[in-house]
């Protein structure tokens, strides 16, 4: 595993496992497969309704809490609701802390919600805090009006939307860039058939998905692919045995369409900030 170092020194695996739309009932079973494949970073969210399944899987795995990096996302607006929501999330997880807590998307009172995350950090309820789906303007508001610079911004990022504009801002502020939908969800199949991607896969004896994940992780972009297919779960994790050259990485930048696969959320459109 390779790691990125967050702005407070905490190390985060550059590859994790996503749980969007993983049904609460099958989450524990699904995560057992991911943990057995070697994943040690799990991305969940209050909105996914599966934090309890993540906790159950962790317990059943026999792994120590500190061996697995767990991220969750708050979806409440304002200080009091967010503070209470974090405690409820911890209760569902069955742990006294998260490794990373992020605000799922900007809300009218993001600044107040963020204060609850800052308090959770101070109280040891999480090891790091950050945001998701925040554009540069949304981040500017937090940075200018709070004490702690977010450690991470989790935003849609893949070959078709490389987020070069946001990336420059994040690098400038030492905020880790995390990719949601690193395989572009429903557009993934099309991306995996691109002749340039297939040629690289054939050169390195790997799959197109592995090339696409390596393309991100070699640029220090944290990727959290999701799969329900055991073969995909295993191969998505097995990406550290080869490296693309910098010329190959550059050659893939031409596929950037500079837009979301589903135009969500609209604040992230490149002309919105
Ligand atoms: N912060 C946010 O607002 C936000 C939004 C969306 C997602 N997320 C997070 O990011 C995670 C990943 O995003 P995502 O789940 O939306 O999309 P994704 O990981 O880009 O794509 C998932 C799709 O790719 C397929 N796939 C995975 N590995 C494959 C492989 N090796 N070969 C072929 N197909 C493959 C999966 O099908 P199979 O099951 O058949 O493999 C599934 O249909 C989420 O689970 C969630 O944790 C966050």
Q: Is residue 102 part of a domain?
A: yes
CA–CA gap between residue 145 and residue 273 (Å, rounded): 18
CA–CA gap between residue 94 and residue 257 (Å, rounded): 41
Residue ranges in the chain whose pLDDT is less than 70:
none
Q: What is the pLDDT of residue 175?
A: 98
H helical segments located in 173-245 = 188-192, 195-204, 208-217, 230-237
**CATH code of 139's domain:** 3.20.20.100
Q: How many other C-beta atoms lie within 10 A of the C-beta of residue 228? A: 12
Is the Cβ atom of 188 under 6 angstroms away from ligand 1?
yes
Cα 184 to ligand 1 centroid, rounded to whole Å: 7
Q: Is residue 63 part of a domain?
A: yes
Q: Is residue 272 part of a domain?
A: no
Is the Cβ atom of 132 under 6 angstroms away from ligand 1?
yes
Q: Is residue 271 part of a domain?
A: no
Contact 129, 7 (CB under 8 A): no
Q: Which residues contact 126 (CB under 8 A, 6 or more apart)?
A: 86, 97, 98, 99, 100, 101, 117, 120
Which residue's C-alpha comes closest to atom 27 of ligand 1? 227
Does the annotation mark 48 as catalytic?
A: yes
Name the CA radius of gyration of the chain, rounded: 18
> 42 to each of 27, 72, 92, how far by Cα in Å?
11, 9, 15
Q: Is residue 269 part of a domain?
A: no
Q: Domain span at residue 123?
A: 3-260
Q: Is residue 211 part of a domain?
A: yes
Which residue's C-alpha comes closest to atom 47 of ligand 1? 18
Contact 180, 132 (CB under 8 A): yes
Is the Cβ atom of 235 under 6 angstroms away from ligand 1?
yes
DSSP 194: -
Q: Is residue 181 part of a domain?
A: yes
**Whole-model pTM?**
0.98
Q: Is residue 162 part of a domain?
A: yes
CA–CA gap between residue 21 and residue 185 (Å, rounded): 12
- When divided into structural domains, the chain yields a total of 1
Summarised one tens digit per residue, pLDDT across range 89-139 is 999 999 999 999 999 999 999 999 999 999 999 999 999 999 999 999 999
Angle at which helix 110-122 crosses helix 79-93, to 10 degrees, equals 50
Q: How many other C-beta atoms lie within 10 A of the C-beta of residue 11? A: 14
Which residue's C-alpha comes closest to atom 17 of ligand 1? 181
Q: Which of 17, 39, 48, 114 is catalytic?
A: 48
**DSSP 3-state of 177:** strand
Is the Cβ atom of 182 under 6 angstroms away from ligand 1?
yes
């Amino acid at each position: 595993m390779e790691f990125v170092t967050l702005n407070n020194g905490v190390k985060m695996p550059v590859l994790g496992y996503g749980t969007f739309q993983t049904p609460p009932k099958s989450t524990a079973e699904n995560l057992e497969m991911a943990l057995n494949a070697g994943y040690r970073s799990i991305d969940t969210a209050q909105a996914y309704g599966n934090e309890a399944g993540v906790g159950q899987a962790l317990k059943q795995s026999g792994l120590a809490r500190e061996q697995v990096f767990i991220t969750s996302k708050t979806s409440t607006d304002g200080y009091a609701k967010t503070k209470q929501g974090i405690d409820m999330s911890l209760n569902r997880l069955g742990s006294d802390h998260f490794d990373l807590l992020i605000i799922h998307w900007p809300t009218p009172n993001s600044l107040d919600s963020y204060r609850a995350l800052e308090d959770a950090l101070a109280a040891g309820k999480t090891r790091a805090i950050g945001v998701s789906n925040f554009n540069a303007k949304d981040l500017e508001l937090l940075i200018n009006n709070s004490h702690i610079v977010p450690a991470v911004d989790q935003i849609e990022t893949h070959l078709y939307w490389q987020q070069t504009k946001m990336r420059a801002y994040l690098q400038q502020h030492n905020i880790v860039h995390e990719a949601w939908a690193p395989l572009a969800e429903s557009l993934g199949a099309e991306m995996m058939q691109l002749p340039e991607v297939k040629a690289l896969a054939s050169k390195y004896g790997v799959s197109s998905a592995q090339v696409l994940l390596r393309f991100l992780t070699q640029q220090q972009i944290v990727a959290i692919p999701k799969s329900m297919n055991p073969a995909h779960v295993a191969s998505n994790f097995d990406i550290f045995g080869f490296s693309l050259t910098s010329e190959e990485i550059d050659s893939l930048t031409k596929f950037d369409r500079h837009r979301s696969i589903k135009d969500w959320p609209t604040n992230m459109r490149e002309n919105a900030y």
